[in-house]
Amino acid sequence: MSTTDELSWFKSSYSGSEGDNCIEVALSPQEVHIRDSKDMEIRPFAVTPAAWSAFTAHAANSSLD
């Protein structure tokens, strides 16, 4: 597993466009790492790519309601 310092972080397309609700993600072969870009003191967490896909699919469908 990579340390979070070695990962290439990017702002999630699911973050708000106002810049106030931002998460960043970083991809590795086994995990998707997630962190709060506004509070770097909080430790990032990781989920499987399948879990991330399910979450983003649900988020995309929920925004249509």
Considering the entire predicted model, what is its pTM? Answer: 0.72
Q: Which CA distances in Å does 34 have to 5, 50, 64?
A: 13, 14, 24
**Residue 45, CA distances (Å) to 20, 48, 63, 64, 65 in order:** 20, 11, 24, 27, 28
Structure confidence at residue 37 (pLDDT): 83
Average pLDDT, the chain: 82
pLDDT at residue 59, as a whole number: 82
The more confident residue out of 38 and 21 is 38
**Tell me, what's the pLDDT at 26?**
94
